[in-house]
């Protein structure tokens, strides 16, 4: 069923020559700017890099003396050529496949419980079930972990049972319903063909060891600690693990099924990557209902070819799943709002589950997802003179989010700890820690120049943005009959930009939930006319932009690209590349060593037992030594079983530098020298140019 007022109008057979020329000039000028603007995240000490240069270097002999082996596409082909290492990925793919099937199964059970049959194509239903089920599995894993029931075999059996139950329910539903309406959103296949290379390298990249600081500090480090402890407990040294950990529970599940924290993390990363094609299916469905089959495949191709989406797939950030939930909210709301024949309660219950899934990714989704779609549910209830939409929406949201909020109430007395300190308080947070957090993560000054810079970054200067959004989104307004829904989605994306700019510290990842809505509009805009003059121009823009995007994704500028590398070798080698001193002590210290880290928190790859803290937690060594005699400090180290103290002065200075997160004044070279003279610590062994290792005598 098509939402009222959203059927695609017939396009004019031709366009006035002057209009077509004007559009062509604007489009080519925009593409030229995109290709020549310097990429801001390229290391300044290495000079200036432009996308046009990348595109030229992609092909052999375009740049003189560049043979195939030295061209960027040649190097990408070489990274894909080590087929002998692909069997290493089979256990990872099998574990991720089991969890994905369980997520789809649990989601199918939820849709069956809501009695949602509706106008979804089979692929759309699978995509919706995956996201709803993933959020539900996160809640179940939280409950099992808090009860101390993290163990491999119960997870293996439980996930298999959930997957089987969902399959049975799905089969019975199909059998009762007869022939399925369709398998895919209409017209998806051309976009799928374009997207295949991107999806392949996404999957391979996701199965590589993590290299990003935030991922190593908490996205997979928290799950590692839960796995090793056999339960989910409060980690007082890592404040980030108090955030909603719906996505991170996928890593916990994968570690349990795999029975290993390192290999399980790779399976969890593959699950995170799977949210990208699932989102593309929902985006295609939404665009197809508004604009038609061609708009569907164009929107999917535009989304999956965006370097940001590739980057979110190969680096286990939560923004990839967050974009998925925003795509699901847009797609489901188009159906719920535009189809008055659909049952209001069940559909808004589903939308509430998706909003809860978004907020279970990270707190800012309260602003980007929960509030706006809650207002839409309220508006739908108002026009129907019933409270059913908003009540169903609230219940769906609460099913997913209440356990995460309740966890923080139990642990800290604050449902959104460490946020909301001025409203809820929260122990052991205090005013000084709140001030430090606000300096780092609070809103930035409102200045016209900063606003202009942000607009330019989001439009296309960002290293991982695609030019196709600015090229095609404005053209979506050309359709009169679908203009109302186009304006609604455009208004929503504007709301996302404004709230990102006013309410956050403007980290680029935080504006990415705009991409699903923009992809829907870009697909509609790209198909705005059937005029013969428009088709070749559209084809040229798509070809150049998608080629440029793939080249961007193929380089190490967007993520680790050793796609078919030897995983056993990478496990040994990557820590050395990321942090040679830390890798050296992990390699050389005896197995029973327990290391207290000062200034360093990206610890996931370490095999030794470590004691660490993030920069926003009280510094561990300060807690052990402040106000105590040397003998009391020595005893405190022994009581904690600490055999060595590692100090990363480079990280300490980075945090203390202007714009850094701040670092306690307690840690100084003079204090360590005093402990050495007193015999509390041994003489420092330099393990790097700015790192020292002390043995506890």
Percent of the residues in the chain that have a pLDDT greater than 90, as a whole number? 88
Domain span at residue 305 reads 68-84+97-420
**pLDDT at position 5, please?**
42
Per-residue pLDDT for 10 more than 50?
no
Is position 164 within any domain?
Answer: yes
Q: How many CA atoms lie within 13 A of 686 on its CB side?
A: 4
pLDDT value of position 14: 62
pLDDT digits (tens, 9 = 90+) for 485-509: 999 999 999 999 999 999 999 999 9
Share of the chain above pLDDT 70, in %: 96
Q: What is the mean pLDDT of the chain?
A: 94
Q: Which of 1-5, 46-50, 590-594, 639-643 has the lowest mean pLDDT?
A: 1-5
Kindly report, residue by residue over 598-641, the tens digit of the pLDDT: 999 999 999 999 999 999 999 999 999 999 999 999 999 999 99
Residue found by looking up tokens 């589950």 in the block: 353
Is residue 459 pLDDT above 50, yes or no? Answer: yes
Rounding to the nearest 10 degrees, give the CA dihedral for residues 381, 385, 388, 394: 40
Residue 532 confidence (pLDDT): 87
Predicted local confidence at residue 181, as pLDDT: 57
From 355, 385, 420, the end of a domain falls on: 420
Token pair of 187 as six digits: 């017209």
pLDDT at 135: 98
Q: Express each pLDDT in 57-107 by its tens digit.
A: 999 989 888 899 999 999 999 999 999 999 999 999 999 999 999 999 999
* Rounded Cα gap, residues 131 and 56, in angstroms: 39
SS3 for 538?
helix
Domain contains 690: yes
Region 518-526: mean pLDDT is: 97
Residue 388 within a domain = yes
- State the burial class of residue 87 (Cβ atoms within 10 Å of its Cβ: 0-12, 13-18, 19+): exposed
For residues 108-120, give the mean pLDDT: 91
Would you say residue 667 lies in a domain? yes
**Is the predicted pLDDT of residue 8 greater than 50, yes or no?**
no
pLDDT band, very low/low/confident/very high, at 424 (cuts 50, 70, 90) = very high
**pLDDT (tens digit, 9 = 90+) per residue, 537-573?**
999 999 999 999 999 999 999 999 999 999 999 999 9
The candidate with the shortest Cα–Cα distance to 534, out of 186, 26, 7, 6, is 26
Strand 644-648 vs strand 609-611: parallel, antiparallel, or unpaired? Answer: unpaired
Res 480 pLDDT > 90? no
- Model confidence at 6, in pLDDT bands (50, 70, 90)? very low
- Cβ atoms of residues 356 and 394 within 8 Å: no
* pTM, two decimal places: 0.95
Residue 175 is predicted with a pLDDT of 55
Domain count across the chain = 2
Tokens of 452: 């202009």
**Quick check: 47 pLDDT over 90?**
no
What band does 49 get if pLDDT is binned at 50, 70 and 90? very high
Give me the pLDDT at residue 11, please.
Answer: 47
SS (HEC) of 468-489: HHHHHHHHHHHCCCCHHHHHHH
pLDDT for position 187: 67
Contact 226/581 with Cβ under 8 angstroms? no
| Contact (Cβ atoms closer than 8 angstroms) between residue 643 and residue 593 | yes
Band of pLDDT at residue 177, cut at 50, 70 and 90: low
10 in a structural domain: no
Residue 49 located in a structural domain: no
Among residues 377, 395, 420, the one where a domain terminates is: 420
Last residue within a domain, chosen from 379, 402, 420:
420
Residue with tokens 């980290």: 507
In a domain, 496, yes or no: no
> 410 lies in a domain?
yes
Q: What is the DSSP string of 294-354?
A: HHHHHHHHHHHT-HHHHHHHHS--SHHHHHHHHHHHHHHHHHHHH-TTS-HHHHHHHHHHH
């Amino acid at each position: 069923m098509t939402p009222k007022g959203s059927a695609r109008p017939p396009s004019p057979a031709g366009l006035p020559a002057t209009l077509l020329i004007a559009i062509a000039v604007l489009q080519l000028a925009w593409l030229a700017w995109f290709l020549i603007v310097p990429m801001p995240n390229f290391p300044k000490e290495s000079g200036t890099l432009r996308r046009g240069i990348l595109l030229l270097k992609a092909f052999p002999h375009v740049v003189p003396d560049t043979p195939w082996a030295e061209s960027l596409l040649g190097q990408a082909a070489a990274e894909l050529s080590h087929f002998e290492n692909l069997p290493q990925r089979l256990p990872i793919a099998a574990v991720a496949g089991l969890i994905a099937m369980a997520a789809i199964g649990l989601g199918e059970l939820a849709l069956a419980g809501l009695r949602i049959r509706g106008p979804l194509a089979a692929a759309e239903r699978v995509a919706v079930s995956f996201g709803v089920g993933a959020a539900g599995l996160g809640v179940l894993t939280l409950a099992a972990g808090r009860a101390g029931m993290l163990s491999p075999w119960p997870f293996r059996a439980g996930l298999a049972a959930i997957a089987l139950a969902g399959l049975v329910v799905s089969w019975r539903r199909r059998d009762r319903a007869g022939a399925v309406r369709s398998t895919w959103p209409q017209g998806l296949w051309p976009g799928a063909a374009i997207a295949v290379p991107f999806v392949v390298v996404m999957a391979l990249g996701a199965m590589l060891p993590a290299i990003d600081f935030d991922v190593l500090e908490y996205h997979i480090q928290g799950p590692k600690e839960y796995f090793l402890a056999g339960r989910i407990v409060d980690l007082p040294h890592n404040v980030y693990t108090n955030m909603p950990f719906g996505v991170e529970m996928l890593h916990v599940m994968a570690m349990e099924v795999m029975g290993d924290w390192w290999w399980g993390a790779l399976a969890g990363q593959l699950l995170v990557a799977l949210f990208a094609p699932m989102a593309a299916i929902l985006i295609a469905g939404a665009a197809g209902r508004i604009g038609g089959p061609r708009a569907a495949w164009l929107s999917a191709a535009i989304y999956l070819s965006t370097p940001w989406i590739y980057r979110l797939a190969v680096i286990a950030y939560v923004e990839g799943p967050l974009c998925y939930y925003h795509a699901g909210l847009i797609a489901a709301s188009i159906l719920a709002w535009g189809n008055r024949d659909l049952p209001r309660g069940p559909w808004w219950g589903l939308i509430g589950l998706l909003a809860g899934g978004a907020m279970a990714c990270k707190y800012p989704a309260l602003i980007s997802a929960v509030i706006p779609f809650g207002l839409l549910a309220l508006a739908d209830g108002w026009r129907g003179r019933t409270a059913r939409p908003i009540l169903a929406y609230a219940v769906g949201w609460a099913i997913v989010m209440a356990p995460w909020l309740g966890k923080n109430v139990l642990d800290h007395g604050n449902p959104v700890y460490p946020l909301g300190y001025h409203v809820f308080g929260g122990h052991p947070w205090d005013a000084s820690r709140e001030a430090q957090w606000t300096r780092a993560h609070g809103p930035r000054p409102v200045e016209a120049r900063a606003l202009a810079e942000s607009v330019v970054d989001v439009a296309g200067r960002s290293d991982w943005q695609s030019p196709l959004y600015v090229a095609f989104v404005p053209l979506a307004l050309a359709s009169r009959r679908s203009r109302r829904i186009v304006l609604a989605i455009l208004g929503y994306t504007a709301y996302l930009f404004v709230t990102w700019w006013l309410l956050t510290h403007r980290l680029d990842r935080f504006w990415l939930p705009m991409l699903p809505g923009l992809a829907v509009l870009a697909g509609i805009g790209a198909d705005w006319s059937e005029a013969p003059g428009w088709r070749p121009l559209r084809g040229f823009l798509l070809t150049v932009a998608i080629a440029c995007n793939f080249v961007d994704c193929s380089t190490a500028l967007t993520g680790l690209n050793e796609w078919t590398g030897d995983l056993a070798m990478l496990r040994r080698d990557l820590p050395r590349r990321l942090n040679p001193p830390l890798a050296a002590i992990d390699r050389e210290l005896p197995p029973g060593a327990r290391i207290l880290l000062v200034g360093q928190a990206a610890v996931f790859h370490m095999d030794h037992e470590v004691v660490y803290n993030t920069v926003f937690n009280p510094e561990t060594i300060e807690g052990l030594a402040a106000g105590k005699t040397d003998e009391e400090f020595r005893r405190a180290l022994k009581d904690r079983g600490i055999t060595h103290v590692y100090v990363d002065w480079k990280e300490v200075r980075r945090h203390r530098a202007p714009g850094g997160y701040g670092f306690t004044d307690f840690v100084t070279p003079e204090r360590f020298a005093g402990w050495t003279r007193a015999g509390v610590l041994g003489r420092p062994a330099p393990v790097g140019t700015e790192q020292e290792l002390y043995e506890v005598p």
